[in-house]
């Protein structure tokens, strides 16, 4: 992770809210708009000298608004620092307004080379060594697909071998949703100002931002608590949000005090999924863990983990109704399948959970079955339910196309929680959480990496959630903590051996390590991919 000029804040904002903070800074804190531009330009050059200390030449792509003004300032300051710089404009300087005009004049005053962007000329040129491209074209003001010369400039920057520094937001990226409007700059580094835009940390944004750093431009904390300041609707969480929140076990603990997790799933040929969830629950501190699965999986389950209790549905003495009340937490879904066997187990499990207010984690195939029979299950939904869909499963629960989920993950998680209640997780890069305790606040986990795109990761996460529930954490807290622990465990594993080839079960030893850190003592882990 690249070094940040100030730590990444917890509060995340929509673009319009950041513009409101910008206006408050100007109107109430005696900071001019041009001074903010100057500070932004200085912050960019600081990043350049830290990340690319050999940089000798900047090619700055500028648009017509304040983001373009930042670009002109960057070009001017680079010359003052002994670099050479040229500005390629997408909108003629005579169309600039406000503080951007003053920024343009600053660049002219120090002799910056300023000329229009011409696609063919840029493609044909050879770039001198130690050249850096700077994206200062569109910023947060974009609200429609990119067109005209801008789309050609984006393609030219992405095709160039030189690295790209994006100013505030990679051009073409929707800073509120994390999805490109159509095409967007893929930067090596993005520096964002005043506040973190919520879309920079989720979805496709992670393919475009590169390393993310933040600068508050020297604005005081009082700005964010001002009476007219907008309220952040999204909060970033990471492993540092968790450490210190897990209490150590009392010396006289026994297994009955640490909860009993029952994992239900594993239709024919799918015995691995419930086994991974069950083992993750054991490694995360659950006192007892039972597996309800096809009888054919007994040998494999017990050979792998003899500490588990195995109940086969084809056993002569199997009585699901008798077994269920023994558990303090249900997990339903890993390897459950979509047939009649899984449907019956889901029906009985959810009815029991609702009658007895037993927390239940609904995952994997159980989510698809839930969506198929929503009319039957919605009347019995409880705040003790935890739903953990990936985008495809979320689409089925909301009866929309999967592509619509990714277009606005924040809207999707809000609707999911509104419809189904309880605590909901939308998996993916920058996982999102919404719960019944604070339904107006979304949590975004900044832990995790691309190595987690492999089979079984969801089963491991489900097991961690269940164990934390079993040990007494309320559903909303158990979900948030588990997502952070799971993501950080993956980051620790990837830090040792890389992302490719990471297995879900590789996380187990790190998960055990993390759940046993019950105090921080001033230490902070590095956050995941940002």
**pLDDT tens-digit readout, 278-308:** 999 999 999 999 999 999 999 999 999 999 9
pLDDT in tens, 447-501: 999 999 999 999 999 999 999 999 999 999 999 999 999 999 999 999 999 999 9
Distance from C-alpha of 139 to C-alpha of 192, rounded to nearest angstrom: 10
Distance from C-alpha of 58 to C-alpha of 163, rounded to nearest angstrom: 10
pLDDT at residue 243, as a whole number: 83
Q: What is the pTM of this model?
A: 0.95
pLDDT in tens, 180-230: 999 999 999 999 999 999 999 999 999 999 999 999 999 999 999 999 999
Distance from C-alpha of 240 to C-alpha of 431, rounded to nearest angstrom: 16
pLDDT in tens, 331-358: 999 999 999 999 999 999 999 999 999 9
Question: What sign results for the dihedral spanned by CA atoms 193, 426, 273, 462?
Answer: positive
CATH number belonging to domain 11-232: 3.40.50.10260
Class in CATH terms, 240-515: alpha beta
The residues facing 292 across adjacent strands are: 264, 311
CATH 3.40.50.10260 in the chain, residues? 11-232
Q: Tokens for 385?
A: 């339910």
Distance from C-alpha of 276 to C-alpha of 37, rounded to nearest angstrom: 52
Q: Tokens for 224?
A: 């964010």
Phi and psi dihedrals of 290, rounded to 5? Answer: -110, 150
Contacts of 415 (CB under 8 A, 6+ apart): 398
Distance from C-alpha of 54 to C-alpha of 430, rounded to nearest angstrom: 33
CATH 3.40.1190.20 in the chain, residues? 240-515
């Amino acid at each position: 992770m690249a070094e940040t000029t100030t730590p990444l804040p917890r509060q995340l904002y929509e673009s319009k809210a950041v513009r409101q903070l910008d206006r408050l800074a100007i109107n109430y804190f005696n900071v001019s708009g041009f001074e903010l531009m100057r500070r932004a330009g200085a912050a960019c050059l600081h990043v350049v000298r830290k990340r690319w200390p050999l940089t000798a030449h900047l090619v700055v792509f500028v648009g017509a608004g304040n983001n373009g003004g930042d670009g002109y300032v960057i070009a001017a300051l680079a010359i003052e620092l002994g670099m050479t710089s040229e500005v390629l404009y997408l909108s003629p300087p005579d169309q600039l307004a406000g503080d951007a005009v003053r920024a343009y004049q600053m660049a002219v005053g120090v002799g910056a080379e300023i000329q229009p962007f011409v696609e063919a000329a840029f493609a044909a040129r050879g770039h001198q060594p130690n050249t850096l491209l700077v994206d200062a074209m569109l910023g947060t003001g974009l609200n429609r697909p990119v067109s005209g010369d801008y789309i050609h400039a984006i393609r030219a920057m992405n095709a160039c071998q030189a690295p790209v520094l994006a100013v505030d937001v990679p051009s073409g990226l929707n800073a509120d949703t994390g999805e490109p409007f159509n095409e967007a700059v893929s930067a090596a580094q993005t520096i964002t100002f005043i506040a973190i835009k919520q879309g920079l940390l989720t979805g496709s944004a992670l393919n475009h931002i590169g390393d993310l750093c933040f600068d508050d431009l020297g604005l005081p904390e009082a700005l964010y608590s001002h009476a007219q300041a907008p309220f952040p609707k999204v909060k970033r969480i990471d492993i540092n949000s968790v450490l210190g929140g897990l209490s150590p076990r009392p010396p006289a603990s026994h297994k009955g005090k640490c909860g009993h997790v029952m994992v239900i799933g594993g239709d024919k040929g799918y015995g691995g999924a419930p086994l991974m969830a069950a083992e993750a629950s054991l490694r995360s501190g659950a006192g007892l863990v039972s597996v309800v699965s096809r009888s054919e999986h007994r040998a494999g389950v017990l050979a792998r983990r003899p500490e588990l209790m195995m109940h086969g549905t084809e056993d002569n003495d199997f009585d699901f109704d008798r077994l269920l009340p023994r558990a303090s937490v249900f997990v339903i879904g890993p390897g459950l399948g979509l047939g009649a066997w899984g449907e019956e187990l889901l029906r009985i499990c959810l009815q029991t959970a609702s009658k007895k207010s037993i927390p239940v984690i609904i995952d994997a195939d159980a989510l698809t079955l839930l969506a198929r029979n929503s009319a039957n299950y919605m009347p019995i939904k409880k705040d003790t339910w935890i739903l953990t869909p990936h985008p495809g499963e979320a689409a089925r629960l909301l009866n929309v196309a999967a592509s619509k989920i990714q277009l606005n993950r924040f809207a999707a998680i809000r609707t999911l929680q509104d419809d189904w209640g309880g605590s909901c997780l939308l998996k993916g890069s920058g996982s999102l959480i919404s719960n019944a305790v604070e339904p107006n606040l979304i949590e975004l986990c900044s832990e995790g990496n691309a190595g987690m795109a492999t089979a079984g990761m969801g089963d491991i996460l489900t097991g961690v959630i269940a164990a934390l529930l079993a040990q007494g954490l309320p559903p909303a807290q158990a979900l948030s903590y588990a997502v952070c622990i799971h993501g950080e465990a993956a980051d620790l594993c990837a830090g040792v051996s890389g992302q490719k080839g990471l297995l879900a079960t590789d996380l187990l030893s790190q998960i055990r390590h993390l759940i046993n850190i019950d105090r921080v003592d001033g230490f902070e882990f590095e956050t995941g991919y940002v």
